[in-house]
Amino acid sequence: MERSTAVYNHIIVSPIAGSMGAEIQGADLANLEGEVFEELYDAWLRNHVIVLRDQDITPDQQLAFALRFGEIHYHPYMQGMDDNPEILEIVKDPGDQYTFGSSWHTDQMFNPQPAKATMLYAKETPCSGGDTNFANMHDAYDALSDGMKSMLADVKSWCSGDKFKQGGRPRRKDRYAGNAKMLAKLRDPGKLQTESAHPLFRTHPETGRKALYIGNHVKSLCEFDEAEAEPLLNYLRAHSVRPEFTCRVSWEPGTLTVWDNRSVQHFAIADYNERRRMHRITIAGDTPF
């Protein structure tokens, strides 16, 4: 599925970068007609990340829009809003030390059925900074050598939601200690499965494209010794976020961005010290193959 071949009757699609991402005009999410959504969804599949500006919607309207992508995926570690449990309110105030999402990752990768999509709606944003970077994992896969693709074709990675190893990162409760509002949302996942094995190269179920499926939740490679796995993982982590694979989204109140977790990694940039408040909904996915 190529980005440049689509022609739309209701929306205007403006690419953000050469690899991925697009800004969409012509879609009012408070009154979204079926034909407009169909075009928007097609643009999302082609561009992996879509950005809609100047949207004025309520939590219920955001939820209704999210449900058009699929069922809601509830975060096993984080509590949603009291009145809208489907929505995770992400808040960072001046002085907070922890920025939610500030490492390269794909959402809910540790789940046996990771999130299909993530929808983030800006309520309050800093005057500058607080952007989000995205990286195209289809392009990252395509750029690997034939030898690397062949060697790793059937390899699975082991992913964890809390037992982080890379960089000596602390557990969730210790990381969130630097942001009291997010720490207060932390909950015990109970019996929910928060560790899973997934193909290192996954196939997109709707477009058929292969992607390098990696992120900070990857703990090891299945059936590899640690000394064997770490050099490979370090190479793939660095390779996956090469500048030519990326785009950058800036935020202002009313900006809503939807990204495809089957196609991209993302990184929240912690370069601000003002209040930032976002409403996040994740969409349930299926088992990677």
Catalytic residue ranges: 105, 107, 266, 280
- Please, are residues 86 and 250 in contact by the beta-carbon 8 Å criterion? no
Residue 78 CA, distance from chain mean position: 16
Q: Which letter does DSSP use for residue 200 in this model?
A: S
Q: Which residue from 52, 73, 106 is spatially nearest to 266, judged by alpha carbons?
A: 106
- Please, are residues 251 and 90 in contact by the beta-carbon 8 Å criterion? no
Q: Which residue from 231, 188, 236 is spatially nearest to 214, judged by alpha carbons?
A: 236
Q: Which letter does DSSP use for residue 102 in this model?
A: -
- Please, are residues 257 and 124 in contact by the beta-carbon 8 Å criterion? no
Q: Which residues pair with 277 in a beta bridge?
A: 91, 124
Residue 276 structure tokens: 């930032």
Collapse the DSSP code of 143 into the 3-class scheme (helix H, G, I; strand E, B; otherwise coil) and give the result: coil
Q: Which letter does DSSP use for residue 78 in this model?
A: B
Could you give the residue ranges of the DSSP H alpha helices within the chain? 34-47, 59-67, 137-142, 146-151, 172-175, 180-185, 226-240
